[in-house]
Amino acid sequence: MKDTGYEYSVVRGFAFSALFWLVVGLIIGLWIAFEMFNPALNITPWLSFGRLRVVHTNGLGLGFGLAGIFATAYYMLQRLTRTPLPFPWLAKAHLWLFNTAIALAAVSLMAGMNTTKEYAELEWPLDIGVVILWVMFAVNVFAILIKRQEKQMYISLWYLVAMTVTIAVLYIVNNLEVPVTLFKSYSIYAGANDANVEWWYGHNIVGFIFTVPVLAMFYYFLPKATGLPIYSHRLSIVSFWSLIFAYLWTGAHHLMLTPLPEWIQTVAIAFSIFLIAPSWGSVINGYYTLQGNWEQMRSNYLAKFFIIGITFYGLQTLQGPLQGLRTLNAFFHYTDWVVGHVHMGTMGWVTMIISASFYYMIPKITGRDLYSIKLANVHFWFILAGQLIWTITMWIGGIQQGAMWKATNPDGSLMYSFLDALTSLYPYYRIRFGAGVVYFIGILLFAWNLIQTVRQKPATAEA
């Protein structure tokens, strides 16, 4: 470490924080999945579905997702600028404050301090904490970019800059609220406007946390792990600018057929369809990078994660816009289909890419070989199988539920009660829980593999 001066302890700290919150978030996920067919598990108010669901989404989105992003961002920023972190103490403070905030977030949500705006459920004191965290991160991002030794900013840095800027705008605008007490506030927007602001935020927080920085990882770690340069620089430029331009128009596809003015919905549909192009720009760039070297899918365990991961990104970004179409949305919205959609992105794309990035990065920063490639392969197959069974089950359930809601008798009356449609899903909920367990085992292997990696003696004489 001394020879480069790079600050890696904070990278490692965030990486293992990510693993910790991943395991916690998944345990909660399994718990609420079980509650879906066995409500007896709602033992106390703290463990009731309504409170725990937000702990699950925030714990994994913010706890695991953001920690994984910070870990890889601090690594990529230093490598790609060939510059040590300008303020390592600030990054360390960032790490500690981050974990404190996530722990407080989990406790406060379990206690019912919930603003109910999806993925922005934290109450106002924690919102302020999140903004402070983001500023601490942004200071290092911009300082290192200004001080950088490498003239050109590589693709991954574009995505990190876009994330840093956009999340700040999204988070602040959507969380403007008037405090009632220390633990309670009301949104400053009302009704249809509040919905519009929220889903502009909700859609783009997914975009700029689960897409943009994960693409940054993809563009950096895929070439690193395979030894192959990205296929087309031009394609990555076009994809980048068109992606960040179009994303912000599409939030209202979450509000299809609601009282939101129809033109906003229609504009959102149009831009959602448009978004297929830049999304697939990255997919194609990834595939063509492997051109002529597809045997790496067998020989290089990391290539598998990246290519299957970007494949799920491609499917996700095709499925998403299609769900946004009015007719399909009328059928699928509010069903488990959408739950399946989200989980393909998170369990397939995001986790696959973060997993592979960690497998590449942790040995690099600790000077140790990965504990077991074999175990990493088993991890891959477990999370792939778990995710596929999970999402496909939910899609089938969603189709069934949508159809039962719509079904009418010859005389025009409704064929099924709401409860009929719900209870018909319980077999799927049981399968989903089983798939979740398979996935969870894969994740435990992932965590175990990395823990064993850092516990080994250094592979080289001096790290």
- Least CB distance from residue 51 to other proteins, whole Å? 5
Is 229 a binding residue for other proteins by CB under 8 A? The answer is no
- By CB under 8 A, name the one of 248, 276, 297, 454 that touches other proteins: 248
Kindly state whether residue 270 participates in binding other proteins, applying the rule CB under 8 A: no
Binding mask 312-331 for other proteins (x = CB under 8 A): ------------------x-
Q: Is 255 in the site for other proteins (CB under 8 A)?
A: yes
Structure letter (DSSP) for residue 414:
B
Residue 381 contacts other proteins per CB under 8 A: no
Length of the chain, please? 463
Give the C-alpha separation, 334 to 406, whole Å: 13
C-alpha to C-alpha distance for 112 and 49, rounded to whole angstroms: 11
CB of 286 to other proteins, least distance (A): 20
For the CA atoms of 180, 181, 184, 187, what is the dihedral angle to 10 degrees? 30
Contact indicator for 289, 231 with CB cutoff of 8 Å? yes
- Window 61-100: residues binding other proteins (CB under 8 A): none
CA distance 60 to 54: 10
Residues 6+ apart with CB under 8 A from 10: 74, 85, 88, 91, 92, 94, 95
- Please identify which residue in 2, 191, 292, 460 interacts with other proteins, judged by CB under 8 A: 191
Q: Determine, following the binding rule CB under 8 A, whether residue 366 of this chain makes contact with other proteins.
A: no
User: Is 182 an interacting residue with respect to other proteins (CB under 8 A)?
Assistant: no
- Does residue number 458 form part of the binding site for other proteins (CB under 8 A)? no
For other proteins, the binding residue among 75, 124, 137, 158 (CB under 8 A) is 158
CA dist., res. 217 & res. 397, Å (int): 33
| Residue 198 in contact with other proteins, rule: CB under 8 A | yes
Tell which positions 396-425 bind other proteins, by CB under 8 A. Answer: 405-408, 413-414, 418-419, 422-423
The residue behind tokens 């008037």 is 178
Query: According to CB under 8 A, which one of 165, 328, 399, 454 is a site residue for other proteins?
Result: 165
Binding pattern for the stretch 1-30 against other proteins, x by CB under 8 A and - elsewhere: ------------------------------
Task: Draw the binding track, 325-364, toward other proteins (x: CB under 8 A; -: no contact).
Answer: -----x---xx--xx-------------------------
Inter-axis angle of helices 155-174 and 233-247, nearest 10: 0
The two structure tokens encoding residue 430: 């049981």
- For other proteins, give the closer residue by CB, 247 or 305: 247
Query: 185 in helix, strand or coil?
Result: strand
> For residue 368, how many C-alpha atoms fall within 13 Å in the half-sphere facing its CB?
19
Q: Whole-number minimum distance, CB 135 to other proteins, in Å?
A: 14
Residue nearer to other proteins on the CB measure, 334 or 381: 334
Compute how many other C-beta atoms are within 10 angstroms of the C-beta atom of residue 294.
11
Dihedrals phi, psi of 117, to nearest 5 degrees = -80, 120
Which residue number, 381 or 418, has a Cβ lying nearer to other proteins? 418
Tell me which residues in 101-140 interact with other proteins (CB under 8 A).
Answer: 112-118
Q: Which residues in 49-68 contact other proteins (CB under 8 A)?
A: 49-51, 53-54
**Residue 408 DSSP class:** B
Asked if 288 touches other proteins (CB under 8 A), the answer is no
- Given a contact cutoff of 8 angstroms between Cβ atoms, the answer to whether 348 and 312 are in contact is yes
Among 58, 108, 140, 196, binds other proteins (CB under 8 A): 196
Single residue of 11, 133, 145, 450 touching other proteins by CB under 8 A: 145
Indicate the residue among 154 and 371 with the shorter CB distance to other proteins.
154
Binding residues for other proteins, how many (CB under 8 A)?
Answer: 92
Token reading at 283: 């997919």
Cα–Cα distance between 33 and 360 in angstroms, integer? 32
Q: CB of 85: closest distance to other proteins in angstroms?
A: 15
Which of 27/146 has CB closer to other proteins? 146
Residues 167 and 194: their CA atoms lie apart, in Å, by 18
Residue span binding other proteins (CB under 8 A) among the ranges 91-99, 191-199, 370-378, 433-441 = 191-199
Q: List the Cα angle 317/32/27 in 5-degree steps.
A: 85
State the DSSP string of 364-404.
HHHT---S-HHHHHHHHHHHHHHHHHHHHHHHHHHHHHHHH
